[in-house]
């Protein structure tokens, strides 16, 4: 009887060990991942244009600034600059205003020779470009020409930057 009991236990143990594991079901599928990029341009940076501290304005005072534009790759754009906020200003003669409403004239240009005025009219006086997805820096060339020097003080103007795309 011991042999039979021992054999039964061994047979039972073998059945437990030899029993196949429970099968897990596997199902595969897919998901779609997408993004839609639309045409866009941003003004990422715009540095101030500071002509420094000067006395009598008897010669040209030249300075530069930078505008950083970022557009989607392949997107064409135009960057325009307003005439500024000075009363009576035009894109050819912009005006910084100071004490007692006195003004100092200046110009903004697209080129280092300061021969191409930078204004807001597309096809006439704006800077054009094509986006590459990165920030593209455009240099603004400024000039205060010789002129009758007004009273001491700080003279300022605000020029609007417009990117059309």
Question: Looking at per-residue confidence, does 17 or 123 come out higher?
Answer: 123
**CA dihedral defined by 126, 127, 130, 133, rounded to 10 degrees?**
-110
State the CATH number of the domain containing residue 65: 2.60.40.1090
What's the pLDDT at 20?
Answer: 63
Residue 6 belongs to a domain: no
Residue 153 belongs to a domain: yes
Q: What is the pLDDT of residues 28-54, one digit of tens each?
A: 999 999 999 999 999 999 999 999 999
Residue 35 belongs to a domain: no
Q: What percentage of the chain has pLDDT greater than the value 90?
A: 85
In the predicted model, what is the mean pLDDT of residues 90-106? 97
Residue 127 belongs to a domain: yes
Residue 160 belongs to a domain: yes
Question: How many domains, in total, are found in the chain?
Answer: 1
Residue 90 belongs to a domain: yes
pTM of the predicted protein model: 0.82
Residue 57 belongs to a domain: yes
Residue 31 belongs to a domain: no
Is 90 exceeded by the pLDDT of residue 4?
no
What's the pLDDT at 151?
Answer: 97
Question: Looking at per-residue confidence, does 39 or 15 come out higher?
Answer: 39
Q: What is the pLDDT of residues 129-158, one digit of tens each?
A: 999 999 999 999 999 999 999 999 999 999
Q: Which range of residues forms the domain containing residue 133? A: 41-164
């Amino acid at each position: 009887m011991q042999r039979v009991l021992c054999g039964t236990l061994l047979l039972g143990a073998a059945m437990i060990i030899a029993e196949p594991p429970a099968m897990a079901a596997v199902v595969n599928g897919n998901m779609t991942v997408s993004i839609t990029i639309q045409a866009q341009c941003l003004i990422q940076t715009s540095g101030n244009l500071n002509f420094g501290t000067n006395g009598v304005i008897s010669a040209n005072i030249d300075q530069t600034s930078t505008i950083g534009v970022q557009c989607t790759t392949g997107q064409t754009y135009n960057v325009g600059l307003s005439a500024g906020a000075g009363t009576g200003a035009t894109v050819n003669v912009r005006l910084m205003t100071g004490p007692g409403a006195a003004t100092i004239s200046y110009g903004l240009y697209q080129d280092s020779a300061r021969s191409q005025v930078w204004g807001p009219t597309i096809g006439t006086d704006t800077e054009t470009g094509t986006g590459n997805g990165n920030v593209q820096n455009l240099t603004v060339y400024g000039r205060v020409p010789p002129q009758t020097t007004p009273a001491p003080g700080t003279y300022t103007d605000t020029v609007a930057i417009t990117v059309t795309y």
